[in-house]
Amino acid sequence: MNPVLAREARQRFRGRWSWLVITGWVIAVGLLTYLFYFAGRNISIDIFSLRGPLSGLNQAGQWVFDGMSLVLLTAVGFMVPGLTALSVVGERQRQTLHLLQITQVTPLGIVMGKLFSSVGYFLLLILAVVPLLGIPLAFGAIGLVDVLVVMAMLVLVVAMLASVSIWVSARAKSNRAAVALSYLLAVAIFFGSFVLMGVEALVIRDDVEDDSRELVSTWINPYVAMADAVYFPYDDLEGFFDTPEIPTPMFPFKALVSLRQGEDLPDGGLPGFRRIPGWIATTLIYGLVIALCLWRAARLVTAPRPLPGRRKRARAPDASR
């Protein structure tokens, strides 16, 4: 086992407040799950005028699934940078980084140990609330494949953000700079990409309903990527300007997926128009970002080599003295 990972895991999981953080996390997510269930069921009952104790459970399950997926993805953006921003710069501030550099652990091993410790802790938080995703599964709103797809996308986004934060931590000279820049990049990826979508849709494209061009900016947004993966292979997409029977929390992102796939073209899209799934493009981009950030971080934590120079010859003692 990676010694850096073993040490980081002991520090994180044996901390005094670890159990309290996990308990509070589960309670908070459980309350949000109930709110999504309550909202989805009441909306479906009001729209369809349903009555009975089992009325609206399917729609409520869809609300719970969409809402939980977005909550967990948003939690990734807010928590992962804070968990990894101090991974390397903290060692440098405590003057313990050079101790790691002179061990037999390779620079890449140091970086991977930091990465797995941060990712592992957040995956523990996700696994703690996975039973809540079984609620829409029991209601028949989703299938097991949908849960696995959401889990896979969460792991991908966690790995990408953690890699970026570790690279920032390896470059930073202070704790504040590492935390600030890590959160700035996370906000740019999660929310700044929406600004790029607006610029691309309203400035670059002549008509927002003209689907002859690709929405490239959607490739870097994790929300759109998750919606694209969940609704793949696009059997039940509506048009971008269509109003769904029951709106769900993920409907705005589903609408962007519809716009990419040409659902607003005449007759709901032309034969053979389907583009490459957006989640595949996002996976490739995030994979490249992970590889580059880990490579650069490993280069930055490598022990500096002594500068080449001539050794000064020691003067021979004078025999006459």
pLDDT band with cut points at 50, 70 and 90 for residue 269? very low
* Most confident range, picked from 15-19, 113-117, 235-239: 113-117
From its phi and psi, is residue 238 left (phi > 0), alpha (psi between -120 and 50) or beta? beta
Residue 81: the pLDDT is 92
122-140 mean pLDDT: 84
Whole-prediction pTM: 0.83
The continuous run of DSSP H or E covering 200 comes out as none
DSSP category for residue 310: P
* Helix%, strand%, coil% for the chain, nearest 5: 70, 0, 30
Is the Cα torsion angle 45, 48, 54, 59 positive or negative in sign?
A: negative
Q: Is the pLDDT of residue 117 over 60?
A: yes
85-109 mean pLDDT: 82
C-beta separation of 255 from 287 below 8 A:
no
Residue 306: the pLDDT is 62
174-198 mean pLDDT: 91
Provide DSSP, 129-187: HHHHHHHHHHHTSS-HHHHHHHHHHHHHHHHHHHHHHHHHHHH-SSHHHHHHHHHHHHH
185-189 mean pLDDT: 94
Contacts with 110 (C-beta within 8 Å, 6 or more apart), sequence order? 4, 100, 101, 298, 301
Q: Is the pLDDT of residue 135 over 90?
A: no
